[in-house]
Amino acid sequence: MKNKFILFLLIITATNGFAQKVNSLPQPIVNENNSKTSCPFFTQNTKGIPVMSFVKEKDKETVLCYSLFDSNKKKFGKPIVIESSRGAELHGENAPKIIFKPNNEIIAVWGVNNPSEKKKYGGLVKYSQSFDNGKTWTKATNLVKDQSSIDQRYFDVDLLSNGEAAIIWLDSRTNTDKEGSTLYYAATIGKSGFQNEKPIAETTCQCCRTDLFITKNGKINAAFRQIINDEIRDMVLTTSNDNGKTFSQPKRISPDNWKINGCPHTGPAMTENENGLHFSWYTSGGGTGVYYCNSSDYGKSFAKRNIVSDKPSARHPQITTLNNSAIIIVWDETVTKNDNMSVKIGLQHRDKNGKIISTKFISQKGKTATFPIIKSINKSQLLVAWSQESTDENVYYKVVSIN
């Protein structure tokens, strides 16, 4: 009888394309009294080991940390503190990030507040380098040296095909009277940090995160929300085939035609498999919710969008590819049940062509969970993490298995 009961539980947890362990609960990245964690971000080191960075706040002081994933224990290890990052800004849409270069250099990038008379909520981007596997870090360096730049935020990083690190960000410097920020690009040169910054697009939506993605063949892809004809704020893609020397004119990922006089604070995400690029984003143009589309020719044209979640509260999508080429999308949305409101993390499994296989929620019931991130481990497992409100806000994560 006992064995039949266990089998019954396993069958229930394996429905809808998912096979999660019974009673598999999310785990906090840090279990420490009087401290909070937020702003998670996934990457991997030079050995392919998943790494999560996050911001820890204690006694009103913030610092960027990161932990390596133990695949045997299915847990993240003891956090490593990046001392030079003290004062890092807490912002889920502008989360700090780290990147591991093949030369064993680690670069940490984060934002800090920079209020001024011209820009009350301005910010700066700083970075620090480690050349000894995270034991010591250089003094924090300003990404932008130009004093006329009073606001830099919503950055993203990725590795170029030559092993250098590239970065994009939204900048207050503009060469037009039109509304919006400017998208800038820079890359590292050896151990000398980020160099040769340049603008690559204008009239960008000021407060939506950007996404930088380098394909396996070395093509640079930068997705962002652009202000089109002074009133439409839709997602676009600009690309470079010459390692960042030149970039294409931005193309709309989808003609949503969202007319909004303000910034929705939710940016795009993209991934790749053998069928091309895959995108997910939020819009309220022609229907409200989180959407998906793909581009089989790597940005020359885009398939018609289809819905991931049609809930108006759905936000902050992230997307990745499993080793079997399947597509996984996560996002957060408000759920109301019996007059109780909470924010949950949705997870959608699609095949390599983008066809939906299954959809479900994976965060704890009754908890408010926001800004999910996602990282594939192999062809059937992935890591998902988010910021969760409880007694103290904390970053939680779990390993999810996909059939």
Cα–Cα dist 296/354, whole Å: 11
Query: What are the φ and ψ backbone dihedral angles of 83, each rounded to 5 degrees?
Result: -60, -35
Give the per-residue pLDDT at 339. 81
Residue 63: both structure tokens together: 């610092």
- CA 370-62-196 angle, to 5 degrees, is 90
> Side chain identity at 286, as an amino acid letter?
G
CA-CA distance, 368 to 372, in Å (whole number)? 12
**Residue 1's pLDDT is what?**
41
| Identity of the residue numbered 325 | S
Place of tokens 């971000």: 41
Structure confidence at residue 119 (pLDDT) = 87
Token pair, residue 344, equals 């949950």
23 contact partners, CB below 8 Å, separation of at least 6: none
CB atoms closer than 10 angstroms to residue 340:
9
DSSP letters for 199-241: EEEEEE-TTS--EEEE-TT--EEEEEEEEETTTEEEEEEEEES
For residue 37, the SS3 value is strand
Token pair 């004062």 is found at: 87
pLDDT at 3: 43
Per DSSP bridges, beta strands 211-214 and 220-228 are: antiparallel
Residue owning tokens 């096979």: 19
Q: What are the φ and ψ backbone dihedral angles of 107, each rounded to 5 degrees?
A: -120, 130
Give 277-332 pLDDT, tens digit per residue: 999 999 999 999 999 999 999 999 999 999 999 999 999 999 999 999 999 999 99
Residues of the chain with confidence (pLDDT) below 70: 1-23, 390-392
Note the pLDDT of residue 5. 31
Q: What is the pLDDT of residue 392?
A: 65
Q: Which residues contact 154 (CB under 8 A, 6 or more apart)?
A: 93, 94, 169, 170, 207, 208, 209, 210, 267
Question: SS3 for 79-132, per residue?
Answer: CEEEHHHCCCCCCHHHCCEEEECCCCCEEEEEEEECCCCCCCCCEEEEEEEECC
Res 390: pLDDT: 63
- Written as six digits, the tokens of 127 are 């970075």
- Please name which of 370, 354, 378 lies closest in space to residue 304, comparing C-alpha atoms: 354
| pTM passes above 0.75 | yes
